[in-house]
Chains A and B, each alone.
Chain A
Amino acid sequence: MAASDDSTHSEDYSAPEHAPRESEQAPEAGETAPADVAGVTGETAPTDAAGDAAGTTRDELAGAAGTARDELAGAAGTASDELAAARAARSASVEPRPGARALDAADDTEVIAANTSPDEAAGPDEAAGPPRGGWFRRARMGFRGWRRTRPFWGGLIALFGGIEILLSERAPVAVVVHLGAQGLAGYVVPVVLVLCALLLWFNPAQRIFYSILAVLAALASFITSNLGGFVLGMLLGIVGGSLAFAWVPGEPPRRRRRRRERPIVGRPSEGLALVVGDRERQAVAPRGGDAETGPARDPEPEPGGGLQPGPGHDLQPGPGGGLQPGPGGGLQPGRGADPRPGRGDNPEVGGQAGHLRSRWGGRPHGSRTVLAALPVLAALPAPLVLAALPAPLVLAVVASLPQLLPAGGPLTPGPARPTAMAGRAPTVSASPSRSTGTASPSPTPSGSPAPTATPSPSPTVAPSATTPAPAPSPTPSTVHRKAASPSLVASGSQSSITAGTVLMTGLSYDGVADVQTATGTVPMLRFSMSSMTLSGGTVLTVSENGHPYVINDSSLEFRGNVVLYTTRISGRLLGATVTFTPQDPPPLVLPTMTFTDVVTDRPLTLADSFQPADLLIRAS
């Protein structure tokens, strides 16, 4: 025993790749183990365990080797296949018994219970081995397997990128740019990036699509989300998406192994699955797998099978027979199809190996027992369904694009209106009334529908006066929006404020207000804000009686309870020209907005404080 142990040790170290072969030989060398191998039935195994504890330990050793082999298979996808195998073999050989059991313990508490009986049989040196190391190892191996079956690092980097962008949205920076509906897009885009990263992990089959989408989202975040989380998140997203795009499953060694194992071992059960479905196969296929192909090709199912009855004797009452096939069945068919039954049926090493492996190889078809009868169909809908999943996301992104350019006016005239504040319907009736000139009190109603009716309340000034006195439309029939404060009577003059830049803070759009003028009410957009700063060639032009009055200022600063009424405000928001009018009000505004090249017509501005710099008023 000790000698064989030692030999296993040394050979494990020296030639880890042969570990499976070692385990194959080990049972033959041992006195009892061969019985296990030969007697695949459950009856012999218990006698072995009862008769000789050494046999049990031997079995465990074999099982450990089998585990090592399993891990080897599990880690097969890696480039450092041999290294992984060496590690696994070492783990099995350095702490042969506890290691093996500890590995078992990773998944099943039942196995932990099984640990105790061999412990008693094998003596105190058992306890010396730290079971935790094995647990961790197993977990690590499992994680490694999981990691290597998907574009893990690409997804991780993209995930970090998305998270970074999201966090940057909350950065306590005073200059965080929020414009229009872009504030929303600023969150949508990084969320899409995060989703892509997660989907790269959990649905790697569609990695090409997700990775491209991730790169696009990362690029889009530059516009929408603080310059892509101040460039960093964007770069992470691009790099991660590119890595994921370049990722391909499997390396040559693993493929070889697969090709060797899969067609021969895995197929029969899959073929059976076609006929009997998953459940039945679980009960039937293993036997066939074990009897026919398992032993011939893969030695480890046998040691595994031999192992289970030993300690598992009391642990698993009935399933001596049903169990044995478990490892073989759990191992090989598991990779092809359904991992779960394999685990449930076989808590032992082999079963676990099967579980590990099935997690490994069986994922694409995973857990689709219903559709297992038609694996092709089963494989098809999965990507389809999952491919359809991101579609709404894309649609959401696309749908947000128009709003992304927060244009109410020329860009999105349609959506702007529906989302407008309530009560804008009356515009319809307002304009007809204006055009027909109903009930115009003093001024002569001009036939032109334009609001620039020339009532010319100034008799002294020549008809040249284009005094666009307010529209004569005091039709009260309209369902009206809020009225401006009654004491406030706006000028009817043609006036406008132009400015290079207008910064509005604490901004809210209050809807369309009916503003009193000398000749009736005029619908005006009403904005209220905490401050409004105009800079860059601020000019207030008033055309009065044919004479322009011009107020030039280097800057105008309104503070405190600023209210701006205007019949029209146009300007550029992030490069897009927008125009808002009572007929075409802003779809939404953000607390802080910056317009450039702004023109505000007929502005009526109220503020607690008004500070023009370099004030210059001219009449000419």
Chain B
Amino acid sequence: MQFTVTADKLTGTGFEQFGTVDATASGAQHPVIVSAIGSATLSGLCQSVDLSPLPAFLKLTAGGSGTGGASADNLVVDATNLAGGSATFSNIHIGQDPTTFSAIPGFNPQAHSNTPLQGTFGQQADSVTISNLRQTAYATTAGTFTLPGLNLGFSGSGC
């Protein structure tokens, strides 16, 4: 089940990204892009799941203005789609073998991949800033997820 994650702005330190294949319970395989951020702050976070055929969305918002934003440690998002208005990465390495990533201390990319990552394509950066982030994800995990101003409910429209 895919869901949509949006944020007005994402800032993070320690960024790693690589591709893998997620398998759902039904056995279907979905290639995804795994984005991992060691320490992330998301302002205006919004997460929604399309409940079709029900005409409704399960919608979560947090980190609105005045809250300082939602923060997460070791945030990992498996997305099929990631878009950003503008982005800045510092000290980026594009095309590096994910198994040799070092941007997030203590983070093992292979633990988040069903396929062997050795020899595959990935990118890492010391820090990342993405505005108007929008992802279509299969999974989100985080070591710690702090969601100030959390609001979870049904909505007629998604994020």
Q: Tell whether A549 pairs with B83 under 8 Å between CB atoms, given A461-B115, A495-B121, A610-B92.
A: no
Partner of A619 from the list B32, B99, B100, B119 (CB cut-off 8 Å) is: B32
B32 — which chain A residues lie within 8 A by C-beta? 619
Distance in Å: Cβ of B26 to nearest Cβ of chain A: 17
Interface residues of A in 437-488 (CB under 8 A from B): 457-461, 467, 469-470, 487-488
Q: Judging by beta carbons under 8 Å apart, are B81 and A608 in contact?
A: no
Nearest chain B residue, comparing its CB with the CB of A470: B119
Q: In the complex the two chains form, what is the Cα distance from A610 to B17 in whole Å?
A: 14
Asked whether B87 lies within 8 Å of A612 as measured between CB atoms, the reply is yes
Contact B96 A490 (CB under 8 A): yes
Chain B residues lying within 8 Å of A540, measured Cβ to Cβ, are 94
Contact A518 B88 (CB under 8 A): no
Q: Judging by beta carbons under 8 Å apart, are B88 and A609 in contact? A: yes
Q: In the complex, how many angstroms separate the beta carbon of B124 from the nearest chain A beta carbon? A: 10
**Which residues of A, 606-620, contact B by the 8 Å Cβ criterion?**
606-620
| B33 cross-chain contacts in A, Cβ below 8 A | 549, 617-619
Q: How far is the CA of A489 from the CA of B118 in the complex (A)?
A: 10
With contacts A492-B119, A545-B115 taken as known, whether A606 is within 8 angstroms of B92 at the C-beta atoms is yes
CB of A489 within 8 A of CB of B97, answer yes
Q: Which of A518, A547, A608 contacts B19 (CB 8 A)?
A: A547
Residues of A within 8 A of B154 (CB): none
Are the CB atoms of A493 and B119 closer together than 8 Å?
A: yes
- Once the chains bind, are A544 and B96 in contact (CB under 8 Å)? no
Cα of A469 to Cα of B118 in the assembled complex, Å:
10
Chain A residues whose CB sits within 8 angstroms of the CB of B19 once the complex forms: 542, 544-545, 547, 549, 619
Q: Which residue of A lies closest to B102 (CB)?
A: A487
Contacts of A612 in B (CB 8 A): 84, 86-87, 89
Give A519's nearest chain B residue, CB to CB. Answer: B119
> Chain B residues near A565 (CB, 8 Å)?
95
Pick the contact of B95 from A457, A604, A608, A618 — CB < 8 Å?
A: A604
Query: Shortest Cβ distance from A87 into chain B, in angstroms?
Result: 77
In the complex formed, the residue of B with least CB distance to A547 is B31
Q: Does A587 contact B (CB under 8 A)?
A: no
Establish whether residues B97 and A517, one from each chain, have CB atoms under 8 Å apart when the complex forms.
Answer: yes
Q: Judge whether B95 and A517 touch: CB under 8 Å.
A: no
Please name all residues of chain A whose beta carbon is closer than 8 Å to the beta carbon of B93 when the two chains form the complex.
Answer: 488, 604-606
The CA of A558 and the CA of B100, in the complex, are separated in Å by: 22
Contacts of A490 in B (CB 8 A): 95-97
Instruction: Report the bound CA distance from A606 to B95 in whole Å.
Output: 9
Q: A458-B115, A615-B130, A618-B80 are in contact. Are A489 and B96 (CB under 8 A)?
A: yes
Tell whether A602 is near chain B: CB-to-CB under 8 Å. yes
Q: Specify which chain A residues have a CB less than 8 angstroms from the CB of B52 in the assembled complex.
A: none
Contact between B87 and A544, CB atoms less than 8 A apart: no
Provide the residues of chain A in CB contact with B89, threshold 8 Å: 609-612
B144 to chain A, nearest CB (A): 25
Flag if B119 contacts A495 (CB, 8 Å): no
Q: Do residues B21 and A467 form an inter-chain contact, with CB atoms below 8 A? A: no
Q: Tell me if B76 is interfacial: C-beta within 8 Å of chain A.
A: no
Q: Shortest beta-carbon distance, B36 to chain A, in Å?
A: 14
Chain B, range 32-60, C-beta contacts under 8 Å to A: 32-33
Please determine whether A607 and B92 come into contact, CB atoms closer than 8 angstroms.
Answer: yes
Q: Are B84 and A457 in contact (CB under 8 A)?
A: no
Q: Does A491 contact B (CB under 8 A)?
A: yes
Report B-chain residues with C-beta under 8 Å of the C-beta of A268.
none
Within 532-572 of A, Cβ neighbours of B (below 8 Å) are at 540, 542, 544-545, 547, 549, 558, 565
B91 at the interface (CB under 8 A from A): yes
- By a CB distance below 8 angstroms, the chain A residues around B91 are 606-609
In the bound complex, residues from chain B placing their C-beta under 8 Å from that of A607 are 91-92
Q: Does B105 contact A (CB under 8 A)?
A: no
Cβ contact of A616, chosen from B20, B83, B114, B122, cutoff 8 A: B83
- Evaluate contact between A620 and B118: CB separation under 8 angstroms: no
B79 CB–A CB distance under 8 Å: yes
Question: In the complex, are the beta carbons of A603 and B95 less than 8 A apart?
Answer: yes
Q: Is B125 an interface position by the 8 A CB rule?
A: yes
Q: Is the CB of B130 within 8 A of A488?
A: no
B120 in the interface (beta carbon within 8 A) = yes
A544 touches B88 (CB 8 A): no
Q: Which residues from chain B contact A604 at a C-beta distance below 8 Å? A: 93-96
**Residue B143, interface by CB 8 Å:** no
Candidates A606, A610, A619; contact of B88 at CB < 8 Å = A610
B84: chain A residues within 8 A (beta carbon) = 612, 614-616
Interface residue ranges of B59-114 to A (CB < 8 Å): 79-100, 102, 114
Which B residues form the contact surface with A (CB < 8 A)? 17, 19-21, 30-33, 79-100, 102, 114-116, 118-122, 125, 130
**Could you list 17 examples of A-B contacts with CB < 8 Å?**
A458-B116, A487-B102, A489-B99, A489-B100, A491-B121, A517-B119, A542-B121, A544-B20, A545-B115, A565-B95, A604-B96, A605-B95, A610-B89, A611-B87, A612-B84, A613-B87, A615-B83
Closest 10 CB pairs of A and B: A492-B119, A547-B31, A604-B95, A518-B119, A610-B92, A491-B121, A493-B121, A610-B89, A489-B100, A489-B97
